[in-house]
Amino acid sequence: MVNRRKGNHMALKQNKKGIFFTSLVLLILTLFLISFTFYSDVKERKSTQQRIETLNSFLFSIEEDIPRKLYISGFRAILLLENKIIETGLFIPDIESSFSEIVINGTMDNLPMPLMLGANFSDIQKNLKEKANEISANINLYNAELSLTQEDPWNIKVTITSDLFLEDIGGEASWNKTSVLSAYIPIEKFEDPLYIVNTNGALINNITKTPYPNFNNIQDLNTHITNSYYNSSTDAPSFLNRMQGNTGSNINGIESFVNLQKLSQQGITVQEKSVIDHIYFSSGNPSTCHPAETPSWFRIDDAHKTSYEVSC
């Protein structure tokens, strides 16, 4: 009887030990699974975060790069439009539409322009897609619209607005936004279309900003006059106006003095009127005078005497 009780007690004791060790094993396994799951979640979140940061950096880089490409495209487009003015002797009636065709499609009057090869919007998109593929991503720019404006007398502002979609090939992240990016193209050194058309290409005047902040020195004024430098003026046409043959006033206007001596040397009959370019190349003929100590052919209208600090 004593042996049976002793045996039962030992069996019970062994059962308790078994339950304890089983529970301990289950606890360890549970803790391991929890730790492994937590570690996996952390690792996955870290991987996703790194991927998002990579794509964010890529998005930032392309939004830095597109304006540079837009500058190149816009500069070439202006060259092509100026060349068209030289060849045809005509202004560009709708500058924004013509400019957009060149930059977006790489064509002018529906004809491909070799100068735009690698620089039109389709080529820019292709280049971006290639770069995106290198980091296992897809990118697409669509519904692109281009605008051409001036915010100051000396630069053309080119703005492209498009929907931008960027996604990770693995589907971890994506961006869908409207992108508005701009580039500024200096107008200096481009040829003035007013001179090209109105002299039949005989007298070319490249736009050069005057180095003089004022004209209280007669020598500075005479240098400005003879070199046909440009001065900003709110009653003059802007560069974009000039491309279209518009001689009206613009807050971002520029003006020069037409050098009649150079005109005469090209066999062009000169007129006795104000040599302010947008007046000389227009039907307007306000009263004028000849200030002392200026070139003999120089005449200025009354409205501009104060601007150039002369009297007569």
- pLDDT tens, 206-250? 999 999 999 999 999 999 999 999 999 999 999 999 999 999 999
What's the CA gap between 197 and 88, in Å, rounded? 9
Give residue-wise pLDDT tens across range 36-63. Answer: 454 444 445 555 677 778 888 888 898 8
**pLDDT surpasses 80 at 32:** no
* 159-188 per-position pLDDT tens digit: 999 999 998 887 777 888 899 999 999 999
Alpha-carbon gap, residue 194 to 32, rounded angstroms: 82
- Does the residue 158 lie in any domain? yes
The reply to whether 66 and 162 lie within a common domain is yes
Q: Are residues 80 and 100 in the same domain?
A: yes
Q: Is residue 133 part of a domain?
A: yes
276 belongs to a structural domain? yes
Q: Do 237 and 256 fall into the same domain?
A: yes
Residue 23 exposed, middle or buried by CB count within 10 Å (0-12, 13-18, 19+): exposed
Tell me: the pLDDT tens digits for 84-141?
A: 999 999 999 999 999 999 999 999 999 999 999 999 998 999 999 999 999 888 999 9
Q: Which domain holds residue 266?
A: 193-305
In whole angstroms, how large is the CA radius of gyration of the chain? Answer: 37
Tell which of 123, 151, 186 closes a domain.
Answer: 186
Q: Are residues 168 and 262 in the same domain?
A: no
Do residues 201 and 182 share a domain?
Answer: no
In the chain, the number of structural domains is: 2
Residue finishing a domain among 167, 186, 205: 186
Residues 231, 157 within the same domain: no
179 and 212 share one domain:
no
Q: What percentage of the chain carries pLDDT values higher than 70? A: 85
What b/e string do you get for 38-70 counting C-beta neighbours within 10 Å, with b at 16 or more?
A: eeeeeeeeeeeeebeeebeebbeebeeebbebb
Give domain status of residue 40, yes or no: no
Domain stops at, among 157, 186, 215: 186
**Whether residue 182 is found in the same domain as residue 197:** no
Please check whether residues 171 and 208 belong to one and the same domain: no
Q: Tell me phi and psi for residue 119, to 5 degrees.
A: -120, -5
Q: Rank 29-38, 164-173, 302-311 by mean pLDDT and report only the highest.
A: 302-311
pLDDT value at position 48? 66
pTM over 0.75: yes
Q: Does residue 14 lie in a domain region?
A: no
Give yes or no: residues 99 and 160 share one domain: yes
Q: Would 176 be classed as within a structural domain?
A: yes
- 173 and 112 within one domain: yes
Residues 89 and 135 in one domain: yes
Residue 288, in any domain of the structure = yes
Q: Please check whether residue 131 lies inside any domain of the structure.
A: yes
Tokens linked to 154 = 């000396």
